[in-house]
């Protein structure tokens, strides 16, 4: 049975109403299909994970690269895809809106917009501009049913001010964000405080260094969990260990830890 984009978007919104779910991050069509095969109900792209597959550093891909990638992921699986759409690939709200429209056309069920500038001296956008960028994104999404995630990147850039994060996220919620996200939070206290502040809207946790399990995150009120580039790094870990062994020692023992080719063929057959 063909699952339409509208079906995926409706399913994705429903998933945000209660409970807590893992939103793992594939890097390409094959890994997206594998995650669907393993029973995950939705997936999310990873800006870093994708960038590395095309030989680029994170935040160095183009909007064209990303939209092609998102269209490929969305058409390859029957489950919702949430787009890591970085900062919307523009600064000005109207240009962010244009790119958000492009992203929606790829068939994604959700997309996130960050407030980081890429400038170490001024790491996050001035508050009013950041809010306008979310408002413009919300307007661009229109009645498509695509879920908008507002991200405050402060902690990832060393601005560990919980009051600032909560102020930003609540402002993004008021500006039209359906789900809120502040990667970098680690303590139960901080996570619980943010969950409470943005309620009843759902909060996305980057599991990162928190050490929490799915159940523990759910107990804190988290609605969904992302792993960012962690699956990509795990895959690269195996690849680089085996390749380095061959290059440096001329031996091949690491190859024995690879996933069985027969199992992969069965999964994709």
Q: Is residue 76 part of a domain?
A: yes
Q: What is the pLDDT of residue 167?
A: 98
Q: Is 223 domain-assigned?
A: yes
The per-residue pLDDT for 1 is: 66
- Residue 15 located in a structural domain: yes
Which tokens go with 198?
């943005």
Q: Is residue 9 part of a domain?
A: yes
Tell me the per-residue pLDDT of 43-98, one tens digit each, with 9 for 90 and over. Answer: 999 999 999 999 999 999 999 999 999 999 999 999 999 999 999 999 999 999 99
Cα-Cα end-to-end distance for the chain: 18
User: In this predicted structure, what is the pLDDT of residue 201?
Assistant: 98
- The Cα–Cα gap between 65 and 127 comes to 29
Average pLDDT score over residue span 1-6: 90
- The DSSP line for 112-134 is EE--B-S-SSS-B--HHHHHHHH
pLDDT at 208: 86
Which residues are within 8 A (CB) of 38 and not within 5 positions of it... i.e. 6 or more apart? Answer: none
User: What is the reported pLDDT for 209?
Assistant: 79
Report pTM: 0.97
Token pair for residue 140? 């661009």
Residue 166 domain-assigned (yes or no)? yes
Length of the chain: 269
Mean local confidence (pLDDT), 263-267:
97
Q: What percent of the chain has pLDDT over 90?
A: 98
Among 176, 198, 160, 172, smallest CA distance to 115 is for 172
Is 79 within the bounds of a domain?
yes
Domain count, the chain: 1
Domain assignment present for 66? yes
Asked if the model's pLDDT at residue 165 lies above 80, the reply is yes
Please give the full DSSP string across 141-209, using - where no structure is assigned. HTTS-PEEEEE--GGGGT---HHHHHHHHHHHHHTT-SEEE-TT--SHHHHHHHHHHHTTS-EEEE-GG
pLDDT at res. 2: 85
Alpha-carbon dihedral sign for residues 218, 134, 185, 49: positive
Integer CA distances (angstroms), 54 to 28, 70, 80, in order: 10, 14, 23
User: What b-and-e string marks burial along 96-124, b requiring 16 or more CB atoms within 10 Å of the CB?
Assistant: bbbbbebbbebbbbbbbbbbbbeeeeebb
Question: How do residues 135-158 score in pLDDT, each as one tens digit?
Answer: 999 999 999 999 999 999 999 999
Tens of pLDDT, residues 204-228: 999 987 899 999 999 999 999 999 9
The answer to whether the beta carbons of residues 36 and 77 sit under 8 Å apart is yes
Q: Look at residue 210 in the predicted model and tell me its pLDDT.
A: 86
What is the tens place of the pLDDT at every residue in 89-98? 999 999 999 9
Q: Is 234 inside a domain boundary? A: no
Rounded to the nearest integer, the mean pLDDT of the chain is: 97
For 24, the domain range is: 5-229
User: What's 73's domain CATH number?
Assistant: 3.20.20.60
């Amino acid at each position: 049975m063909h699952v339409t984009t509208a079906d995926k978007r409706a399913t994705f919104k429903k998933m945000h109403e209660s409970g807590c779910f893992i939103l793992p991050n594939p890097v390409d069509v094959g890994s997206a299909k594998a995650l669907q095969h393993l029973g995950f109900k939705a997936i999310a792209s990873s800006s870093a994970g994708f960038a590395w597959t095309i030989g680029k550093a994170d935040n160095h891909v183009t909007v064209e690269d990303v939209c092609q990638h998102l269209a490929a992921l969305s058409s390859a699986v029957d489950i919702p895809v949430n787009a890591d759409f970085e900062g919307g690939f523009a600064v000005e709200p109207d240009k962010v809106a244009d790119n958000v429209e492009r992203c929606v056309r790829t068939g994604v069920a959700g997309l996130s917009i960050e407030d980081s500038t890429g400038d170490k001296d001024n790491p996050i956008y001035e508050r009013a501009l950041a809010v306008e960028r979310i408002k413009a994104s919300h307007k661009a999404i229109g009645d498509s049913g695509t879920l908008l995630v507002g991200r405050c990147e402060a902690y990832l850039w060393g601005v560990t001010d919980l009051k600032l994060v909560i102020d930003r996220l609540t402002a993004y919620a008021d500006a039209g964000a359906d789900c809120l996200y502040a990667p970098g939070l680690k303590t139960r206290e901080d996570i619980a405080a943010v969950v409470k502040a943005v309620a009843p809207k759902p909060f996305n946790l980057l599991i990162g260094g928190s050490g929490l399990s799915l159940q523990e995150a759910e107990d804190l009120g988290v609605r969904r969990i992302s792993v960012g580039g962690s699956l990509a790094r795990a895959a690269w870990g195996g690849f680089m260990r085996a390749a380095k062994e061959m290059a440096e020692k001329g031996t091949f023992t690491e190859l024995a830890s690879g996933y069985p080719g027969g199992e992969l063929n069965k999964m994709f057959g």
